[in-house]
Chain A
Amino acid sequence: MTQLSRLPLARKTLPVIITLGALVVIAVGVSLFGSTVTNRIVTVMFVHVVLVLGLQLFMGNSGILSFAHVGFMAIGAYGSALMSIPAENKSRSLPNLYEPLMGVELGFLPAILVGAATAGLFAAITGVALMRLSDTAAAISSFALLVIINVVLSQWNEVTNGPRTLSGILKYTDMWTAFGWAAIGVIVAFLFKESSLGMKLRASRDNLHAADAIGINVTRTRWISFVFSAFIAGLAGGLWAHFITSFQPDALYFEMTFLVLMMLVVGGPHTITGATLGVIIVTVVNEGLRSIENNLALSGALPFKTVGMTEIVLAVVLIIMLALRPGGIIHTVELGGGVGRRRELQTSASSQKGTRR
């Protein structure tokens, strides 16, 4: 062990530097050479980085699949929008809003923090119940939560304009803002992973009973990280809302959930470098396919409509990916975190086999 931990600092900081470096390169490259379209795509990509890292923080470390995070994102989006829409716009886009909320007009930062806090609060309440469950039951309950959030958002006419589009939100998020938050997200995710909380959570993921036996309060540990990751997802929602500026509840539902899960799973849910890489790859593939789809539709080369082809190809890629490399592109060791680590990896790999069903 002493031998192996000779390079702990490099092993811990190199992945952060690599991840941040990649994001910086993308951001600078796009701001120098990119068109308006690529700028848009990259901004949304950075928002996705925040969301996926928030999800990774919980899902990667705890091993519990969560469908609910796009729901938390939606809460963050609507929460922050309600706080920031100027009063004169509110009377137009939300004429039936409750009186006390009508006059509220916060700046960008406080608004998205309030939105994120709302998402965190909601996760805190529901998490009390959810975090007691494991495996499939937890996954299904989080799915139920996503549906509940969507139903409430699309029926609560006074606050969300119902299933219709909510508009009048000011555009605060630009590419550099999104980049800044993505960078913060990367650092926070790494800090969390190395914190005692993160380690306890991974211990409960790898062996629930052993973690319980050495005195880790698994329910509590999960609950704290669930709330924290919902907060980050809410933050991503706020950033997204102030970039898109008009949206409806269904924009943050199954499709987005599928996309986000795909990003995480393709990249590797256990690693932060993997999750970030997943966002980048899926964004590139998705946008590439989308433009091919549009070109095909315009040229009329095919006898049928092409809307939906992107989804099919993405889903097929995802299935193949899962079959060939179930742990994602970057599985257990962070990119750049493998310095002098081969032997350690071997031992952990052989001990992991026993826990699989």
Chain B
Amino acid sequence: MNEVLQVVVNALSLGSLHALLALGLVMVFGILKLVNFAYGELIMVAGYTWFVLQPSWVPLILIMLVAIVAVVITSVATERIAFRPLRSGSMNAMLITSFAVSTILQSSALIFVSPRPSVINVPRGLTSYISVGPAQISVLNLVIFAVSIVTLLGLMLVMQKTRLGITLRAAADDFRMLQLLGIRADQVIATAFVISGLLAGIAGVLWVSRIGMVWPTIGMTPLLIAIIAIVVGGMNSLKGAIVGGFFMGALHIIMQTFLPQNLLAFLDAFIFGVVILVLVFRPEGIVKGRFQTERIG
């Protein structure tokens, strides 16, 4: 019984974090139809900003905010410098560009900081456990869950109620129509990158405090998780990303708990296998968007 509570809390916490990651990726994907491979490096930027500011007198909460701002700036800068000139080009060119941006950011961290993992001091309060009956529940997991849920609700509110949100959703549905109605394309896309960066920043700070370290290729795992989550959840809607995120979190925790020890090393292969299966049997993902991507067969 106590194990069940623990598994549920862990799954919810990881799921909400994955949902944040997936949402940030889908924000950009929805509008540009671009899977931004440089997305994982935003997590790295959050981690390194924290690491660099750590020795100073700046209070932790401020460091976290600065880290989030740094991520937003990076996200917008990559859009402005790398993606905007290529927007009219082919899909493949954009995908490869994002791959190149990711390489640039990673190699910069390698050169200017260190190729080895750098330790982040996560406050003791976060790493402790509280006992609920016989179950041990990590404070950090609760914090992650709370922050993620608040962010998710906030974003939903913005997307549903404000003019900005409606513009963004319309852009994801039919970008050309939106342009015909006189909305500036550059502005909408830049906004999407701001929100994507904001989500990545928050998720990044939470991610780094979970791990307690940062290294140049730290972004790989969150990127993969976000990609899988949006593919599984449905690439054409925000709801899909959230559903996909929670699904992945739950799947991960469940597999980790119940997979036999000798197969645990193949965890990632199993998860990716699930992705391909989902794509084959339900190419539009769990949640159907309004428009389906082109598909044959």
Min CB distance, A293 to chain B, in Å? 10
Cβ of B90 and Cβ of A306 under 8 Å apart? no
Min CB distance, B220 to chain A, in Å? 8
Min CB distance, B234 to chain A, in Å? 11
Cβ of A132 and Cβ of B101 under 8 Å apart? no
What does DSSP make chain A's interface, helix, strand, loop or mixed? helix
Chain A residue at smallest Cβ distance from B277: A129
Chain B residue at smallest Cβ distance from A208: B296
Which of B49-57, B110-118, B246-254 lies at the interface?
A: B110-118
Bound Cα distance A116, B276 (Å) = 23
Contact string, A124-152, partner B, CB cutoff 8 A, digits 1/0? Answer: 00100111111111011101110110011
Q: Which residues of B contact A315 (CB under 8 A)?
A: 100-101, 103-104, 107
Chain B residue at smallest Cβ distance from A219: B297
Task: For chain B, residues 154 to 192, give those with C-beta under 8 angstroms from any C-beta of chain A.
Answer: none
Cβ of B227 and Cβ of A143 under 8 Å apart? yes
Chain B residue at smallest Cβ distance from A315: B100
Tell me which of B93, B224, B296 contacts A322 (CB under 8 A): B93
Bound Cα distance A144, B274 (Å) = 10
Q: Known A133-B295, A147-B272; judge A322-B279 contact (CB<8 A).
A: no
Cβ of A136 and Cβ of B110 under 8 Å apart? no
Which of B9-17, B69-77, B81-89, B199-207 lies at the interface?
A: B81-89
Q: Which residues of B contact A131 (CB under 8 A)?
A: 297
What does DSSP make chain B's interface, helix, strand, loop or mixed? helix
Q: Which residues of A contact B35 (CB under 8 A)?
A: 136, 139-140
Bound Cα distance A131, B296 (Å) = 9
Is B231 interfacial (CB-CB < 8 Å)? yes
Q: Which residues of A contact B227 (CB under 8 A)?
A: 140, 143-144
Q: Which residues of B contact A308 (CB under 8 A)?
A: 106-108, 110-111
Min CB distance, A297 to chain B, in Å? 11
Cβ of A322 and Cβ of B107 under 8 Å apart? no
Min CB distance, B221 to chain A, in Å? 11
Cβ of B228 and Cβ of A144 under 8 Å apart? yes
Is B3 interfacial (CB-CB < 8 Å)? no
Is B266 interfacial (CB-CB < 8 Å)? yes
Q: Known A134-B294, A135-B91, A323-B86; judge A265-B96 contact (CB<8 A).
A: yes
Contacts from B to A (Cβ < 8 Å): 29, 33, 35, 82, 85-86, 88-93, 95-97, 99-101, 103-104, 106-108, 110-112, 115, 224, 227-228, 231, 235, 265-266, 268-269, 272-273, 275-277, 279-280, 283, 293-297
What would be 22 A-B contacts, judged by CB atoms less than 8 Å apart?
A65-B92, A132-B280, A132-B283, A133-B283, A134-B293, A136-B33, A137-B235, A137-B279, A137-B293, A140-B227, A140-B231, A144-B228, A144-B275, A147-B272, A218-B297, A258-B99, A261-B96, A262-B96, A306-B111, A311-B107, A314-B103, A322-B86
Contacts from A to B (Cβ < 8 Å): 63, 65, 126, 129-137, 139-141, 143-145, 147-148, 151-152, 155, 208, 212, 218-219, 258, 261-262, 265, 269, 304-309, 311-312, 314-316, 318-319, 322-323, 326, 356-357
